[in-house]
Structure 1
Amino acid sequence: MENLFTEKTRWCWHPDFKPKEPCFIFFRTAFDIKEKSCRLKLNVSADNRYNLYLDGKIIGRGPCRSDPEHYNYETYDLDIEPGRHAIAAHVTVFGSGSRGKEVAIAEMHTGSGFLVAGGIFKNEKKILNLETPDDWKCDEDKSRFHRPLDAEYDLRTYTAIPSMEKIDFSNLPRKWMYSQFNDSLWLKPKDFGPFTLRSTVKDPYTQWWLVPRQIPMMEEKEDIFKSAVKAEGVDLSSVTDWLQGKSPLIISYHSKITIDAGNLTTAFPRFEFDGGRDSTVKITYSESLFVKGKKLERDRKDGVVFGYSDLLKLDGGTSCFEPFWFRTFRFVEIEINPHSSSHITMHPPSFKTFMFPLDLKADFETGDCEIRRIWEIAWRTARLCAHEHYYDCPYYEQLQYTGDTRIQALISYSSTGDGRLGRQAILQYDWSRLPEGINQSRYPSAWKQIIVGFSLYWVMMVRDYYEYFGDKELVKEVFPGIRAVLEWFERHRMENGLIGHLRYWNFTDWLPEWPNGNPARTTSNPLTINTMQYAEACRTAAYLAEEIGDKSGIEFKGKYKKSIDAVNKLCFDRKLGLYVDMPGTNFISQHTNSWAIISDAVTGRKAEALGREIFENEKLSKATLYFSFYLFRAWEKVGCYELFWKQLENWKSVLKWNFTTFPEIPFEHTRSDCHAWSASPIYEFLSCVLGVKPGSPGFEKIILRPHLSKYGKVSGTAPVGNDKINVSLELSGKKELVLKYDLKSARPVTIVWPDGKKQDAGRTKSGMFRRALKKSVV
């Protein structure tokens, strides 16, 4: 609501704190309402982040992550009753230490600040102004401090998330969020200058170019810990009763308690203590239990919690802890050190899950419980990696990488029909572009990083989104950026037609034999896959150009052909019968050869033969769970998608380690237990096994292109635009495939059978069709 901003709306901050100084600050204003049927309407933003409360109850968190040139504000529009009320905000500024220490890399800010526009309205007329800094007051939160991630341990890996917290409850002002609180000693905030809207920016006085939040608030749901794993200094059965709410837990001696949420989650844990003045409590969060420093089965009872921790000092009264930012955990260890002869009463803990509100509108069923488990684990993985933007992983980084995000967005589109996070990601990558023309590989990100191939995935992301949602305006908006990216690659074309050595990070996949994920093994060799992916991005750009009426399509088609001709001339080894990772070498991989198929460097029967060779040839470097997505695209294209079911064994292989999410790499010692680039089976089950695909942009038409499986019958549901389609596939005598579908409303449907034959089903709401097969089950 831009109309809530007025000339009086100003940014403000605590007068005693310098910009960017790490801290927690309280803001509040109390007021009286005498009339009925009033509305509270506010626009709110802060630098770095805020939690907003109305009469002690949290009503929002923000601002949604972005960058200073697209700085979000949230709009609140609520009923409010007559009486005395208080609006309060808890605002933090994170630290800015060295990489991997105190830096929340996805948080992009310019300093410190708090801003509120709006007030109380009656019949659309403002009757009470609540804009900052007029009647607001502020105070330093002297109870809460940022706690470095490595405060008491060395996790020995890269981290990029917000810091943990250290709290001294003796310095916490009680009831500060409520109207009756006495704030007479609090200070008036310092005026930091007027607001600036991005839509009207001219000569701004402040560095925040404000835009309205584009996505909904995160979904928060109450949940409880499921079981007690172990206890020291207290009886385990007492801990079990405590978790079940049967009785509080009394702690008199040094104790350690490990509890299990049942599944990995992203949530705000809540712990409440009575008594124990000057006692300390350390709360440590872990994805899994470690056995002698290693991850084995995730829930081994002889394992220990190892990870980040919050540190609390109790004040002898009631001390209730909930962190400012969410935590990622399955297991939590609570270590209590009572002071002197103190007794501590611990009330049953709980947590509020925190995720983007993805609404699953799909299902997939084979009758195989193992496939069902893969579906459920993949869905949980996708959800935990979707918050204010997509995450690579919630525990270690919380960063939105393009290579990950393309897969995550397709999972969202195919299973929920929700394109909001995907659309936002496309725009954010567009905003990330360096002046030379290449996109950053992750964004929002306070630290610049370039993975060259990820800019090409971004081009493909635009087509993915357009096909699912038909949004030509978005394509038009980002098309100049597509052109800039492709021109950057074109400037690196060598005389022989290949894309030459590219500076920055040439990451392809995490393989032991590829230093830093780079197939070249050295920094100077041009990569075959770069030219293939560039060719495909050019072909994608040509398609998009034609869709929006841009005349550059012919140009991009020419660049595509030039690239493919060079690849076939210089990168195909006739003795090996394979495309090599670098021209002039004998390094071979599933990665390069799958992209030979995807980019149509090879077609027809040769492509099908290559698709099978990719799976069967043990000498090729093998794709991880992440890059298997592109193996599937190659096999889908050349008619050997039955290999998907064999590759799916890699997902089954990690189930024995009792993961509740899919990991970064398919080994028990993986760094991250939750990486949504590994959740691609959801997309495969819906879009390739059932075969539900857009037949035209925005699902105005539907294509059903099912693929055979080893199961006699598979069925499922998938969103198609604003509708859902139910599909069942049944093998009759292993020589005939029976396909049934039904919709709520009629749409044009085309069936593409596994042998490639097309059948027009017409504009219908339902149908049953049969096709004799030349080849039977897998």
Structure 2
Amino acid sequence: MIRHFLLLVLISLPLYAQEELNYPEVIYGPENIHASWVSHPDILGGEDRVVLFRNTFKVDNTSADFIINISADNHYFLYVNGKLVTHGPQLSDIQHYKYETLNLKNYLEKGENILAVKVINFGKRRFLGMQSIFTSLMVNGVTINAEQLNTTGKQGAWVCAIDDSYKANEVVWRGDKEKSIVGGFYANNPTDIIDLNAYPTGWELLDYNDTNWQKTEFFENASSMGGSIAYLLEPRNLPLLSWDEEQIGSIVKSSKSITTKFPVSDELKIPANTKTTFLIDQQYVTNGFPELLFSKGKNASIRIKYAENLFGPNNEKGDRNNLEGKQLLGYYDLIISNGKDAQKFIPNWMRTFRFIEFEIETKVQPLVLNSFKNYRSRTTIPSVAQFTSDNELYNQIFDICKRTIDICTQDYFLSDAYYETMQYVGDTKIQALIWQAMSGNTEHTKNAIRQFDHSRDSDGNILGAYPLRSTFIYPTYSLVWVDMIADYYNVSGDKEFIHTYKDGIVNTLAGFEKNMNELNLVNKTPYRYFIDWYTGPNNGSGTATKNDGENSAVVSLHYVHALQNAAMLFKEIGDNQTSLVYQNRAEEIKKSVYDLCFDMETNIFAERPDKTIYDQHTNIMAILTDAIHESEQRALLDKILNDKDLLQATYYYRFYLFEAIKKVGAPELFDVALKPWEKMIEDNMTTTLERFESIEKPTRSEVHPWSASPAYFYFNYLAGIQSVKNDFEEVRIAPAFGKLKTIIGSLPTSKGTIEFKLNRTKNKLSAEITLPITMAGNLSWQGTEIPLKKGKNVYDIKNEIK
């Protein structure tokens, strides 16, 4: 594997550069929205349709700000004078429906201009995270000159047409039809079937003839009764997504001889009456909106298939760089050519891929593929953390972790980039911490915590994923939401944040308490206590047992963990009475777990009192909650890491394993816990897997942020950099190293970037640390504490070996 494959061919497109005006502070709130939601007269509601909207308007002064609010259901692309401005809205729910606020002045010309919007409804199989009421558009002029763009449905210049070229292509993963994907559950959007014979080419341009288009029809007011008849609008609270040009890799396999270097350079000509297949290898997994430009080829079919990996005869994956005997199995777009020059296809939703396969069948006219490139989609908050060590394997693991986190941080946290793309609580707890290390920014974290808070039901359950149009409830994830608030407070020191969510914490913990039985262990619930993707005969679909988690020690200890965090949070805001109630309840449950589940013969915890199931997870959580005395924790950790008969913690739960290693101060065990990631590097993976390979649960998602936790602990534990006051106003650096001897890197924070170079030889530490001018801190090494000054610090510390 080539080191530093993060250096990609990316070209920023200043032509499309645009900023969200309400980020980071709200300037244009919903109180000034006077427009209405509009639609096409022939739209019924939830069917898969694309509606095109146009408004031709005049501008006299191109130097004046021209500010609008815009939103749509399900998704929109905004063009001004043929140029793409952005797409949206930011993912949220009906009660907090987002709108973007944009200044369009740099796109305008004196005289006539055209604002064009494509609105897509993905239909009944739309993304499970996408809430919807009706296919509709809202545009509101903020500045006086932009009020002419207000959508009303009653008058004005807005016209619309249904794009009959589009049909949603369901990604089949269940039922009797042939499956489109390997691995089961798919919650992402359908893909596209586009017949360009029916496409109104040039509809987004000023000179397009729209005289036959219809006037828009009123759907609902955006502001009446607070907007409560339809969507409750609120401003976007994260920056717009990137639209960066990324070169797509070369053809590596084809059914016919291909001599050109398409798509890296040159065109590719496909003769008439020909079937052609070719495979492109991007060399690394990426995501975005691939753009195909092509010409001629009347009625030719172009099927573009996307996948993170290739599959062998038995759906095995193996070395991702070994293509022999493997095939691409994945979702696809299908385009029918209209035979004209300069045709363009860009999918209506983000695609994720390392491999792309074209299946082309031409008719009587040859087809010319002119170019193929990707517009990469990410949050535009910079991800700039760097890490290098003397161990190349660790460096490569960092690279694949960072790429995974970057791909999956859009305008919310994606659980994975291909199959589901939902924002799950358990996944997000881990991803948020890693993203904060990569960017030094907590806005995505705060957004996720707030959205999860919106999901709470009448029993106090936080939905397992949110935003959501379904009902996924994992009671353990409700507890993790409390843990997320504690994580954020531990970094930020923001007590107002605790006050914002204290009532929610009380409600959630009271709801979970109803699950507890007379043994002080958990009862069965109608829902699933997800813990990890266990493998082996006791796989319980995410729990360690097949008895629906009844009397589960690890679930009970997760409740303890949340109670302990809640006790800390309430103590911090001076509510000592509530804090004591939570702490006492945590102690009761810990004692019961120890008395009922600790096996005196093996000196490890069983997963339940009948002592028939033993796993690493229960013992990890026992260490993290002090369910076993601190003096015995190291021995317990050694034992569970060396006992292969225990149900093993997979990638997700190894976050908690790393936390336990850090808690007991055993950096030499970090490398043991890291072993599963070595297999990813061996197999030339460029992003991180969802779960361990097994017969029961073969690997599925290959871009899964919960598996990227090593990158967080590289900074937080091995380099030992931690905030101790007010989001890095004060920092403590206590290197642990593990098996490493040299650690070099940079860690962005809200107070600036910490640059560090750490080297150890036996009992000596050489440290070169540069702190931002707004930061103070201490360097700690084997009992020696040294104050760090602002700017550059150089120290050599030598302690006697005892």
Q: What range describes the TM-score normalised by the shorter chain of this pair?
A: over 0.9
On the 8 A contact 1:288/1:299 being kept in 2, the answer is no
Question: What does residue range 106-505 of structure 1 map to in structure 2 within 5 Å?
Answer: 106-118=129-141, 121=143, 125-126=144-145, 128-133=147-152, 134-150=156-172, 153-156=179-182, 157-196=184-223, 204=227, 206-233=229-256, 235-238=257-260, 241-252=261-272, 253-294=274-315, 295-302=317-324, 303-318=326-341, 319-339=343-363, 341-505=364-528
Q: Which position in structure 1 is the counterpart of 2:719?
A: 690
Helix, strand or coil at the partner of 2:776 = strand
1:80-126, Cα deviation, whole Å (9 max, x unpaired): 33122111110011222xxxxx241011112222101016x4xxx43
For 2:314 and 2:169, locate their aligned partners in 1 and report how far apart those are by CA, in whole Å.
23
1:288-334, Cα deviation, whole Å (9 max, x unpaired): 12222522322333222211111111111032111111111111111
Structure 1 residue 773, shift from structure 2 partner: 6.4
On the 8 A contact 2:287/2:353 being kept in 1, the answer is yes
Q: TM-score, normalised by structure 2?
A: 0.91
From 761, 772, 780, the equivalent of 1:744 is 772
On the 8 A contact 2:729/2:774 being kept in 1, the answer is no
Structure 1 residue 766, shift from structure 2 partner: 4.3
Structure 1 residue 152, shift from structure 2 partner: 6.0
Greater mean alpha carbon deviation, residues 489-498 or residues 648-657: 489-498
Q: Which position in structure 2 is the counterpart of 1:635?
A: 661
For 1:152 and 1:338, locate their aligned partners in 2 and report how far apart those are by CA, in whole Å.
25
Helix, strand or coil at the partner of 2:476 = helix
On the 8 A contact 2:34/2:223 being kept in 1, the answer is no
Q: Which position in structure 1 is the counterpart of 2:575?
A: 550
Helix, strand or coil at the partner of 1:290 = coil
746 and 4 in structure 1: CA distance in 2 versus 1, 3 angstrom threshold: closer
Q: Which position in structure 2 is the counterpart of 1:89?
A: 117
For 1:58 and 1:38, locate their aligned partners in 2 and report how far apart those are by CA, in whole Å.
20
Q: TM-score, normalised by structure 1?
A: 0.93
Structure 1 residue 248, shift from structure 2 partner: 3.9
1:642-696, Cα deviation, whole Å (9 max, x unpaired): 2111221210112222211111124395111111111111101111000111112
Helix, strand or coil at the partner of 1:695 = strand
For 2:639 and 2:485, locate their aligned partners in 1 and report how far apart those are by CA, in whole Å.
31
For 1:27 and 1:191, locate their aligned partners in 2 and report how far apart those are by CA, in whole Å.
13
1:603-640, Cα deviation, whole Å (9 max, x unpaired): 33211111211212222211112111111111111111
Structure 1 residue 758, shift from structure 2 partner: 6.3
760 and 601 in structure 1: CA distance in 2 versus 1, 3 angstrom threshold: farther
Q: Which position in structure 1 is the counterpart of 2:6?
A: none
On the 8 A contact 2:74/2:122 being kept in 1, the answer is yes
On the 8 A contact 1:469/1:721 being kept in 2, the answer is no
Aligned residues: CA RMSD: 2.0
For 1:450 and 1:205, locate their aligned partners in 2 and report how far apart those are by CA, in whole Å.
26
On the 8 A contact 2:464/2:472 being kept in 1, the answer is yes
1:176-235, Cα deviation, whole Å (9 max, x unpaired): 1112111111111111121138xxx65x552200010111111121012221111113x2
Structure 1 residue 728, shift from structure 2 partner: 2.7
State whether structure 2 residue 78 is matched by structure 1 residue 78: no
545 and 758 in structure 1: CA distance in 2 versus 1, 3 angstrom threshold: farther
For 2:266 and 2:796, locate their aligned partners in 1 and report how far apart those are by CA, in whole Å.
57
On the 8 A contact 2:288/2:374 being kept in 1, the answer is yes
1:502-537, Cα deviation, whole Å (9 max, x unpaired): 431112111222220211221262111122111111
1:110-153, Cα deviation, whole Å (9 max, x unpaired): 2222101016x4xxx43752100332111101111111113864
Greater mean alpha carbon deviation, residues 302-311 or residues 4-13: 4-13
Size of the aligned set, in residue pairs, is: 755
58 and 326 in structure 1: CA distance in 2 versus 1, 3 angstrom threshold: same
For 2:303 and 2:800, locate their aligned partners in 1 and report how far apart those are by CA, in whole Å.
63
State whether structure 2 residue 557 is matched by structure 1 residue 532: yes
Structure 1 residue 774, shift from structure 2 partner: 4.9
Structure 1 residue 763, shift from structure 2 partner: 5.4
Q: Which position in structure 2 is the counterpart of 1:99?
A: none
Structure 1 residue 561, shift from structure 2 partner: 1.6
36 and 385 in structure 1: CA distance in 2 versus 1, 3 angstrom threshold: closer
For 2:135 and 2:43, locate their aligned partners in 1 and report how far apart those are by CA, in whole Å.
9
Helix, strand or coil at the partner of 1:622 = coil
For 1:718 and 1:478, locate their aligned partners in 2 and report how far apart those are by CA, in whole Å.
29
Q: Which position in structure 2 is the counterpart of 1:772?
A: 799
Structure 1 residue 760, shift from structure 2 partner: 5.2
For 1:152 and 1:259, locate their aligned partners in 2 and report how far apart those are by CA, in whole Å.
24
Q: Which position in structure 1 is the counterpart of 2:7?
A: none
Structure 1 residue 32, shift from structure 2 partner: 1.5
Q: Percent identity?
A: 29
For 1:301 and 1:194, locate their aligned partners in 2 and report how far apart those are by CA, in whole Å.
55
Greater mean alpha carbon deviation, residues 244-253 or residues 593-602: 244-253
On the 8 A contact 2:616/2:640 being kept in 1, the answer is yes
| AA at the equivalent of 1:463 | A
Q: Which position in structure 2 is the counterpart of 1:662?
A: 688
State whether structure 2 residue 544 is matched by structure 1 residue 519: yes
